[in-house]
């Protein structure tokens, strides 16, 4: 309950774009093959973060467009990320005012649920279009993403924390 | 709560649920369009073009680092790799050589098989065991003999042409005298003109002898067996005319030829049976003196028989015998 009492500088639009670009870059970096199994979906996490903290700037439409870009970047099916991000963004917006008041631990649990919803939607979308089930390890990355959530939040707060206070 | 700044009432746009429904519908439509109908390829291509600079920027440092790493590969590593590659190349070369041999053999066998299936007079297909050890003759030993029904005099072919003739037959092997052997002669015909000649081997090569200076023979002419002898089947290619040397001082042209058959290289050969001649007319009647004696003897015998028959009173068969005897006498 301590964080919202902080006084912060207004968030610049540039920063939002930059973070999304960085997340996409992470998707595109040629990483070792095995890392896909545990690396969390940074684009999804950032969408959750910005929808949670800047609902007027980043909303369902942004989530949808970023989903399309992520689809192309990950060479997935066109629309699977878009669908997942759209739905989770909506879920965040439903309870945004509550979620933003929680401390980081509880937020992380909520994020875990939302990221799992992401994965679930993608699995359902792929299976509905005829792919085989990829295995339960597909649901591991959200756990790591949830563990990273406090770190991410603190990192993104840094640029607009006021120095003189 | 400045952080989660509450949106202003007028700038809110459509309600979140409406947005959700429209975006969800759109993405489901995209999913179906992409997976079922593949309609989204152009959009995907356009987006990937937009993404390309990003991709390039991300990949450049990684590939740069990789290049640097390969540049700094240690000398020993390179040496070791070099040694390994050399060893591999050596063993590969050996294997390749074996493969080439086997391939050549296969090609030869295939060609021979085609000839064998197209001929009706094939006696046997044989493999060359070794070349005769005598340096003065050109002979081959093949792995078929009387066991395969071979007889001396049978022509031997390989996939390119006439190779030689069987000159000696053992139970399990046979000796083939090659066309290039000294004393080996083949009646041939210049395919282009039909002119007949005899091809002589001279020990290591073949040539046409006794060709008149003005004979129509040119470099490159094909010589085929003429078939007028009773040994070689007609039309088998034998040699190609090489150099024609017309010396005004000599009576005959020197015509060097190159045999078609791989006289030193063939591994598999085909033995064909001798040409089937029409049955020769009965040999000419034996010489008169011998025959006269025989006739006299026959006549005597006939007379005796006739006497006997007369005694017996049955002259018919005796007369017949006499008739036969007189028929065999010279006309």
Domain end, chosen from B89, B118, B147, is at: B118
Q: Which domain range does residue B195 map to?
A: 122-272
Examine the domain organization and report whether B146 and B224 are in the same domain: yes
Does B103 map to a domain? yes
Greater pLDDT, A11 or A23? A23
Does B234 map to a domain? yes
Does B159 map to a domain? yes
Examine the domain organization and report whether B203 and B161 are in the same domain: yes
Examine the domain organization and report whether B127 and B254 are in the same domain: yes
Examine the domain organization and report whether B159 and B88 are in the same domain: no
Does B188 map to a domain? yes
Burial class (CB in 10 A: 0-12, 13-18, 19+), B225: buried
The predicted structure's pLDDT at residue A88: 93
Does B3 map to a domain? no
Examine the domain organization and report whether B196 and B66 are in the same domain: no
Kindly report whether the global pTM for this prediction surpasses the value 0.95. no
Please say whether the beta carbons of B237 and B188 come within 8 A: no
> Hey, are the CB atoms on B20 and A56 less than 8 Å from each other?
no
ipTM above 0.90, yes or no: no
Interface of B with A (CB under 8 A): 1-5, 7-8, 11, 16-17, 19-20, 23-24, 26-36, 40, 43-44, 47-48, 51, 54-55, 57-59, 62
Q: Which residues does chain B have within 8 Å of residue A53's beta carbon, measured at their own beta carbons?
A: 3-4
Examine the domain organization and report whether B74 and B210 are in the same domain: no
Examine the domain organization and report whether B70 and B114 are in the same domain: yes
The predicted structure's pLDDT at residue B315: 45
Does B243 map to a domain? yes
Q: How many CB pairs under 8 A join A and B?
A: 111
- Give CA separation, B127 vs B141, B142, B273, B279, in Å: 9, 6, 17, 33
Q: What is the mean pLDDT of chain A?
A: 85
> Hey, are the CB atoms on B59 and A4 less than 8 Å from each other?
no
Across the interface, of A52, A55, A77, the residue whose CB is closest to B35 is A77
Measured distance CA(B177)–CA(B166) in Å, rounded: 6
Does B23 map to a domain? no
Examine the domain organization and report whether B248 and B140 are in the same domain: yes
Examine the domain organization and report whether B126 and B222 are in the same domain: yes
The predicted structure's pLDDT at residue B124: 85
Judged by DSSP in three states, B235 sits in: coil
Does B303 map to a domain? no
Least confident of A102-106, A144-148, B13-17, B225-229: B13-17
The predicted structure's pLDDT at residue B112: 84
> Hey, are the CB atoms on A72 and B20 less than 8 Å from each other?
no
Residues B217-227: tens digit of each pLDDT = 989 999 999 88
The predicted structure's pLDDT at residue B319: 46
The predicted structure's pLDDT at residue B288: 52
> Hey, are the CB atoms on B29 and A72 less than 8 Å from each other?
no
Query: Which residues in chain A (133-152) have CB-CB distances under 8 A to chain B?
Result: none
The predicted structure's pLDDT at residue B283: 63
CATH number where B237 lies = 2.40.10.340
- What's the average model confidence in pLDDT over A41-52? 92
Number of domains in chain B: 2
Examine the domain organization and report whether B89 and B150 are in the same domain: no
- Interface check A116 vs B, CB under 8 A: no
Greater pLDDT, A8 or A149? A149
pLDDT band at A79 (very low <50, low <70, confident <90, very high): confident
Examine the domain organization and report whether B172 and B102 are in the same domain: no
Measured distance CA(A50)–CA(A58) in Å, rounded: 6
Percent of chain A residues past pLDDT 90, beyond the cut? 35
First to last CA, chain A: 19
Domain end, chosen from B118, B141, B168, is at: B118
Question: Using only C-alpha atoms, what is the Rg of chain B?
Answer: 45
Domain end, chosen from B98, B118, B138, is at: B118
Where chain B has pLDDT below 50, the residues are 1-4, 314-331
In angstroms, what separates the C-alpha of B74 from chain A's closest C-alpha? 24
Q: CB under 8 Å to B132, separation ≥6 — which residues?
A: B138, B139, B140, B141, B175
């Amino acid at each position: 309950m301590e964080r919202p009492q902080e006084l912060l500088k207004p968030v610049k639009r540039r920063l939002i774009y930059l973070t999304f670009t960085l997340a996409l870059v992470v998707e595109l970096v040629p990483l070792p093959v095995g890392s896909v199994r545990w690396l969390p979906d940074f684009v999804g996490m950032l969408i959750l973060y910005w929808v949670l903290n800047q609902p007027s700037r980043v909303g369902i439409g942004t989530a949808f467009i970023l989903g399309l870009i992520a689809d192309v970047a990950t060479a997935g099916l066109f629309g699977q990320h878009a669908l997942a991000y759209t739905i989770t963004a909506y879920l965040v917006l439903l309870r945004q005012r509550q979620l933003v008041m929680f401390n980081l631990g509880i937020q992380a649990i909520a994020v875990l649920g939302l990221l799992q919803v992401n994965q679930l939607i993608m699995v359902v979308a792929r299976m509905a279009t005829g792919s085989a089930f990829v295995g339960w390890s597909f649901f591991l990355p959200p756990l790591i993403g949830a563990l990273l959530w406090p770190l991410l939040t603190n990192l993104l707060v840094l640029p607009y924390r006021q120095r003189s206070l | 709560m400045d952080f989660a700044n509450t949106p202003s009432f007028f700038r809110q746009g459509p309600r979140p649920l409406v947005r959700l429904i429209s975006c969800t519908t759109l993405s489901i439509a995209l999913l179906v369009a992409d997976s079922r109908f593949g309609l989204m390829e152009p959009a995907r291509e356009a987006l990937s073009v937009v993404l390309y600079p990003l991709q390039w920027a991300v990949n450049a440092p990684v590939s740069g680092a990789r290049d640097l790493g390969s540049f700094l590969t240690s000398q020993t590593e390179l040496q070791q790799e070099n040694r390994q590659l050399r060893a591999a190349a050596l063993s590969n070369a050996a294997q390749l050589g074996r493969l080439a041999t086997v391939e050549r053999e296969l090609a030869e066998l295939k060609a021979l098989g085609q000839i064998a299936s197209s001929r009706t007079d094939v006696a046997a297909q044989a493999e060359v065991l070794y070349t005769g050890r005598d340096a003065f003759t050109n002979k081959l030993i093949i792995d078929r003999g009387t066991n395969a029904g071979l007889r001396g005099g049978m022509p031997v072919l390989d996939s390119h042409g006439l190779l030689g003739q069987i000159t000696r037959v053992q139970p399990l092997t046979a000796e083939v005298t090659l066309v290039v052997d000294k004393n080996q002669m083949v009646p041939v015909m210049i395919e282009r003109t039909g002119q007949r000649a005899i091809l002589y081997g001279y020990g290591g090569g073949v040539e046409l002898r006794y060709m008149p200076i003005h004979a129509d023979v040119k470099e490159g002419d094909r010589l085929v067996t003429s078939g007028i002898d009773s040994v070689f089947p007609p039309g088998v290619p034998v040699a190609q005319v090489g150099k024609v040397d017309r010396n005004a001082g000599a009576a005959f042209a020197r015509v060097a030829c190159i045999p078609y058959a791989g006289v030193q290289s063939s591994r598999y050969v085909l033995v064909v049976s001798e040409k089937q001649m029409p049955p020769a007319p009965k040999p000419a009647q034996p010489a008169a003196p011998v025959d006269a004696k025989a006739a006299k003897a026959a006549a005597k015998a006939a007379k005796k028989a006739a006497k006997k028959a007369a005694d017996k009173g049955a002259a018919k068969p005796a007369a017949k015998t006499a008739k036969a005897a007189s028929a065999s006498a010279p006309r």
